[in-house]
């Protein structure tokens, strides 16, 4: 897309973002997860994306596999979705991508066209509706963090240990920067989602190298840079880089645990609005000290279906949105679409996908194999003794990044239990013809989705406080 003669790039101006006309811009967005980077709790599969895809390919053959996943990608985000978001007042979509859509491990440094075509399609759709896109590198070769959402089959972030993986990430960003360098509807590049360099020695120099490589090709687009340890630590940075937003993620324990009260105690700690604000101020200290824009790249509750508990979760959300508004922070909620746990929209309970995989998803919940918002009570008899054993035998060990309990949970339900489930998930695709596979994919089309209306109302109310935005009609006239 060639930039409009009347519009330039989103850029930083001191502690503020400005739009292509030089007007103040507060980004209020949703994360498009589960699309070009599939996550287990988002779309119902176990373990990580690449294991799941390999199993489904073996189960139904390459031709059906290609047709199913192409249909899934085509239906997951369309003009209907962008129109829905624009009507809600959303002005940006952070698009999570997995490197595997652009490069093959067995043929590195060769750009594949299918991923670019899909990304172009969605960036263009968003532009037609006056919505900015942020390109978010959610998974790089070797995995930049320890969990499923970087398509990690293990619990090790090998990206930081092998320069080959780092070289490939730099190369891929060079390709993307060259491709999108003139696109004014791309608000910026989010270089690495939630990096977790345990040594804390590699991530800073790597960021410096990556920024230099991108700037040599594209000097215009804003860079969004997550802090270390899952976008929570910023002590790796010295002076800020020009036209850069230092992005924090602001998940609150009170909005993630299935049990607890708000305001009140969750897992032994007290949470109220003051607690939330203190955590936000801690995570944005670098940005406030250096006078760079405040932006929360991910946050949001995991809902339970229990009306009383969900009312408390909405209160957490209300308090966080209020804090962001009071401090002038942009935000991007996790997330837009899923199978019912957290999304603004979800494939409907009566759709072919939800009905076919309902028992399987229930089994995943019973085994607590999804790392995001599980109820561990049904497997506590297995996990608790191991956690106690590790603490007793290795009292000085505190597994990075979130301590021994999370370390044990990652190794046991999220890997040991989850990986054998991959084959059971793939088996549910066996014997389906093309029309049945297409019906599964179309379950995620917006026309077949349900809307989490209390969440939509809150996002719309918050977005109403934003600066004026283009109407879809105005946006279309600019992109033609």
Catalytically active residues are: 194, 298
Contact status, residue 125 vs residue 75, Cβ threshold 8 Å: no
Helix or strand holding residue 438 (H, E): helix 434-442
- Which residues, other chains included, contact 375 with Cβ-Cβ below 8 Å and sequence gap of 6+? 258, 365, 368
Q: DSSP letters of 11-66?
A: EEETTEEE-TTS-EE--EEEEEEEEES--HHHHS--S-HHHHHHHHHHHH-HHHHH
Closest CA to 17 of 4, 3, 31, 29: 29
- Point out which residues pair with 94 in neighbouring strands: 31, 134
Is the link from the previous residue into 263 a cis peptide, with omega within 30 of 0? yes
**Total Cβ atoms within 10 A of residue 479:** 18
SS3 call for 440: helix
**Angle (deg, nearest 10), helices 273-283 and 307-327:** 50
SS3 call for 441: helix
The residue behind tokens 């600066």 is: 467
Contact status, residue 360 vs residue 428, Cβ threshold 8 Å: yes
**With 0-12 CB in 10 A as exposed, 13-18 as middle and 19+ as buried, what is 120?**
middle
Alpha carbon 162 to its chain centroid, in Å, reads 24
Closest CA to 336 of 80, 24, 47: 80
- Maximum CA extent, the chain: 66
Give the span between the Cα atoms of 324 and 466, in whole angstroms: 12
User: Mind spelling out the 3-state secondary structure of 303-361?
Assistant: CCCCHHHHHHHHHHHHHHHHHHHHHCCEEEECCCEECCCCCCEEECCCCHHHHHCHHHH
């Amino acid at each position: 897309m060639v930039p409009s003669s009347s519009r330039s790039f989103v850029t930083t101006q001191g502690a503020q973002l400005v739009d292509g006309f030089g007007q103040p811009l507060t980004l209020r967005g949703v994360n498009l997860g589960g699309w070009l980077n599939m996550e287990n709790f988002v779309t119902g599969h176990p373990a990580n994306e690449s294991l799941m895809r390999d199993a489904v390919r073996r189960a139904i053959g390459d031709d059906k596999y290609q047709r199913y996943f192409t249909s899934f990608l085509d239906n997951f985000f369309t003009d209907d979705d962008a129109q829905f978001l624009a009507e809600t007042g959303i002005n940006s979509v952070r698009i999570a991508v997995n490197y595997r859509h652009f490069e093959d491990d067995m043929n590195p440094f060769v750009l594949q066209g299918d991923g670019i075509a899909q990304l172009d399609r969605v960036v263009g759709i968003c532009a037609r509706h006056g919505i900015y896109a942020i390109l978010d590198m959610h998974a790089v070769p070797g995995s930049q963090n320890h969990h499923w959402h970087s398509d990690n089959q293990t619990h090790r972030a090998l990206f930081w240990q092998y320069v080959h993986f780092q070289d490939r990430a730099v190369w891929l960003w060079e390709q993307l920067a060259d491709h999108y360098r003139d696109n004014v509807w791309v608000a910026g590049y989010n270089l690495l989602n939630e990096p977790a360099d345990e040594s804390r020695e590699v991530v800073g120099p790597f960021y410096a190298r990556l920024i230099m490589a991108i700037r040599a090709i594209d000097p215009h687009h804003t860079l969004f840079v997550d802090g270390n340890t899952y976008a929570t630590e910023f002590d790796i940075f010295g002076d800020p880089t020009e036209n850069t937003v230092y992005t924090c993620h602001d998940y609150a324990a009170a909005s993630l645990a299935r049990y607890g009260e708000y305001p009140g105690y969750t897992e032994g700690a007290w949470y109220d609005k003051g607690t939330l604000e203190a955590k936000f101020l801690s995570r944005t200290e670098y940005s406030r000290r250096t006078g760079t824009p405040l932006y929360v790249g991910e946050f949001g509750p995991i809902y339970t279906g229990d009306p009383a508990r969900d009312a408390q979760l909405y209160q957490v959300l209300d308090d966080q949105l209020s804090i962001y508004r009071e401090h002038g922070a942009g935000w991007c909620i996790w997330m837009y679409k899923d199978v019912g746990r957290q999304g603004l929209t979800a494939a409907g309970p009566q759709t072919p996908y939800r009905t076919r995989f309902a028992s399987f998803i229930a089994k995943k919940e019973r085994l607590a194999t999804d790392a995001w918002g599980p109820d561990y009570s049904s497997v506590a008899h297995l996990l608790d003794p191991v956690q106690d054993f590790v603490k007793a035998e290795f009292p000085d060990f505190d597994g990075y990044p979130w301590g021994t309990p999370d370390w044990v949970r990652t190794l046991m339900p999220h890997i040991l239990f989850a990986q054998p489930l991959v084959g059971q998930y793939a088996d549910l695709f066996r014997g389906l013809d093309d029309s049945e596979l297409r019906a599964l994919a179309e379950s995620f089309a917006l026309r077949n989705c349900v809307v989490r209306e209390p969440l939509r109302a809150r996002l719309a109310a918050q977005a109403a406080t934003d600066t004026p935005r283009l109407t879809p009609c105005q946006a279309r006239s600019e992109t033609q």
